[in-house]
Structure 1
Amino acid sequence: MEITLIQGDITEQAVDAVVNAANSSLMGGGGVDGAIHRRGGPAILEECRALRASRYADGLPTGQAVATTAGRLPARWVVHTVGPVYARSEDRSPLLASCHVESLKVADTLGAATVAFPAISTGVYGWPMDDAARIALTTVRQASTSVTEVRFVLYDAEAYAAFTRARDALG
C-alpha cells in the first residue's frame, strides 16, 4: 500500500472514499465533519439520518466506522468514524487505532482502492498531533486491507509537519 501525505483540503480529494472525523450523532459538526457535510451536500445528512433511525439509534460508537454516499464530493463514499476524546488520565490510543482499522475495513467492503484520512481526533477532541500521527501511520501500515493508496490529508502546515516527522521516525 502506498501512503502519502498532503497538505490541503480533504473535501477536494478525488478518491474512492474520504474518511470523516465524525461525531457520534453523524449529523455534522465543526472541523472536518462540518466541511464534509457542507461540501457534500444534503445527501450525506439524509443517509446519516437513516443510519441513526435504523442501526445507530444511540449514535455511532467511538472507534467504529460506517459509510454513506459522498454527495457532491469528488469521492464515491464517505466513511464516518468517531475518534476518541484525548485524556491524559486514560490511554485511549486503541480507540484511535480502531478508527483507522475499521475505516479501512469499511473501505474494503465497498471495494475502495483509494482512501483519504484526516488527522482524526486532533481538533476539538484534543489529541496531540505528534501522537495522533504516530498512531495513524503505524496502524495504517500494519492494517490488512485491499486499499492500495492511503492519503493523509492534513489541513495545515503544523499537521503536515507532525505527520512528516512521524513518517520519518517510523522509517
Structure 2
Amino acid sequence: MAVITLTRGDITDQHVDAVVNAANSSLLGGGGVDGAIHRRGGKRILEECRALRASHYGGGLPAGQAVATTAGLLPARWVIHTVGPVWSAEEDRSELLASCHRESLAVAQGLGARTVAFPAISTGVFRWPVEDAARIAVGAVQRAVNKADFDEVRFVLFDDRAYRAFELWIG
C-alpha cells in the first residue's frame, strides 16, 4: 500500500514519476502551479498540451478529469494535468475536486508511475478553502490508493497554512 506523505516546497522540484498540475481547462499554462510547471518544464509540455487541444480536448479539459504529458525539463517523468473546480458557496462541487485526485491517480497508474506528487488543487485562484480541500483531497487519495499499486503519494504544499491543513488529515 502507498505511503501518503507531506512536504513543504515547490512541486517543480519533486523527483517523482509524476507531478500533478493544477491546470486550467485550456491546458496552455496560466498562473500558480500551472504557470510554474509550464515555465520550469519548458516548451515540450506546452507542445504536447497543444496537441491534446488539437485532438481530444478542443473545448478544453473538463473539471475533474486528467490527462498526461511529458514532464519536459522537470525532474519527473510525466505531468498529469487536472482541472480543479472553482469553489462555490451556492453549489457543492466537492465531488469534482475528489475526481481530480482519483482521475490523476488512474492516469498515473496507467502510465506505470509508482510515485506521484500533488499540489493543493483549487486552493489558489479557484478559491477553495484550503482546510476543506485538504479533507477532500486526502480522503480521495486514501480511498484510491487502496485499489492501486503506488509506493508514495506526496502532497507538496507551498506554505505553512496549507501544510497544517493537510497534516490534520494524514495520520
So what's the TM-score if we normalise by structure 1?
0.97
State which of 132, 146, 150 in structure 1 corresponds to 2:153: 150
C-alpha separation in 1, matches of 2:140 and 2:168: 16
Runs of 5+ consecutive residues of structure 2 not aligned to the other structure: none
Report the CA distance between 1:166 and its aligned residue: 2.5
- Residue aligning to 1:53: 54
Q: Does residue 43 in structure 1 map to residue 47 in structure 2?
A: no
C-alpha separation in 1, matches of 2:163 and 2:80: 22
- Residue aligning to 1:161: 164
C-alpha separation in 1, matches of 2:148 and 2:46: 28
Identity %: 72
Q: Report the RMSD for the aligned CA atoms in angstroms.
A: 0.6
Question: Is residue 104–residue 147 contact of structure 1 (8 Å, CA) maintained in 2?
Answer: no
- Residue aligning to 2:18: 17
Runs of 5+ consecutive residues of structure 1 not aligned to the other structure: none
- Residue aligning to 2:63: 62
C-alpha separation in 2, matches of 1:68 and 1:146: 21
Question: Where do 4+ consecutive residues of structure 1 move more than 2 Å?
Answer: none
Larger mean CA deviation between 128-137 and 140-149 belongs to 140-149
Task: Give the number of aligned pairs.
Answer: 168
C-alpha separation in 2, matches of 1:145 and 1:129: 26
- Residue aligning to 1:100: 101
